A and B are shown apart, each in its own frame.
Chain A
Amino acid sequence: MKLTHEEITLLRLLQEDLPLCDEPFEELGRRAGMSGDEVISKIREWKESGVVRRVGLFIRHRKAGFEANGMAVWDVAEEKLDETGARLAEKENISHCYARPRSERWPFRLYTMIHGKTRDEVLAEARAIAESEQIENYRVLFSTRELKKSDTKLFMEDEA
């Protein structure tokens, strides 16, 4: 995908905070060297093509009452992987559901982030899933410390 200098600047700006003013896209355009209309049609085009996953608000979920989150890892048989992944993806309290490679050192294949008000609520949800999906080998890993969380910064190196 070939991007212009202006487009790269716009992608950088979109990873920061949108200005809280009446016409924020007009303002982004001023900074990127485009008109507000061009910014709007660019973003719409990128949403369509999947370059932009979402424009919206990212909240501090711990502060908003979702105190506990656990990364549950599941040892799911290969032939059941896709159907199990699709079923777990339906759950309201699961925010991420991915498959990742299994290895001898780490036998787990399916990964889900489970959110709840408390640690016990997350563990209870994991137990319920293990039972309904008949998965014997699983773990719930809670984070004990957030060591780094930066908004993903693509195109920070100078390449335009």
Chain B
Amino acid sequence: MDNTDRKLLNLLQQDFPVTARPFDAVGELIGTGGGEVIERLQSLRERGYIRRLGASLNPRKLGYTSTLAAAKVPPEHLDATIEYINSFPHITHNYERDDEFNIWFTVIAKSESEIELILEDILENTGATEVINLPATSFYKIKVGFRLEEDK
């Protein structure tokens, strides 16, 4: 990764121009042509630096509701429980963490009652001994990106 790549990653994490020829516009900002921007993005993607170029939507503005849930799962039930939890399309992220509550996942659904049903289903049909529902009550910050250090 060279300095132009880092500039490109920093810039595009902030904002991608929504214009007819966005890569040309980005190229002007970093001093190259649009074609080179596309080539660099393809290469960064192939090398695994880029997860996605696209939009993030606000589920709440589109009639969805979401939550973070935590489960306590004994080690002997871990694999089967993970498989069960991951099988729900409503569950988009799932992490194992080093705590007594060792499984943490996000649920997106059309209503709070649908979320409750999913959590009850998991408690009933897996080895989880406890599941807690932790819907956000305030948002103070949502990630804008990760700044990579550029050469001066």
Contacts and interface: CB of A to CB of B under 8 A. Distances in A.
B117 interface: no
User: Which DSSP category, helix, strand, loop or mixed, fits chain A's interface?
Assistant: mixed
B119 to A, nearest CB: 14
B150 interface: no
A134 interface: no
B95 to A, nearest CB: 4
Contacts of A115: 146
Contacts of A153: 89, 92
Nearest to B96: A145
A20 B97 contact: no
A118 interface: no
B135 A16 contact: no
B104 A141 contact: yes
Contact of B52 (A17, A26, A94, A146): A17
A57 interface: yes
Contacts of B59: 152, 154
B113 interface: no
Contacts, number: 220
Name, among B14, B93, B94, B138, the residue most crowded by chain A CB atoms within 10 Å (CB to CB). B138
A99 B140 contact: yes
Interface of A: 1, 11, 14-18, 20-26, 36-37, 40, 43-44, 47, 49-61, 63-66, 71, 81-82, 85-86, 88-89, 92, 94-101, 103, 105-106, 111, 113, 115, 139, 141-156
Interface of B: 9, 12-16, 18-24, 34, 38, 41-42, 48-59, 61-64, 68, 70, 82, 85-86, 89, 91-99, 101, 103-105, 108, 130, 132, 134-148
24 contacts: A1-B62, A14-B54, A17-B52, A17-B53, A23-B20, A25-B19, A26-B20, A37-B20, A40-B20, A51-B57, A56-B145, A57-B12, A58-B52, A64-B146, A64-B148, A98-B138, A98-B140, A147-B86, A147-B95, A147-B103, A148-B85, A149-B94, A151-B92, A152-B108
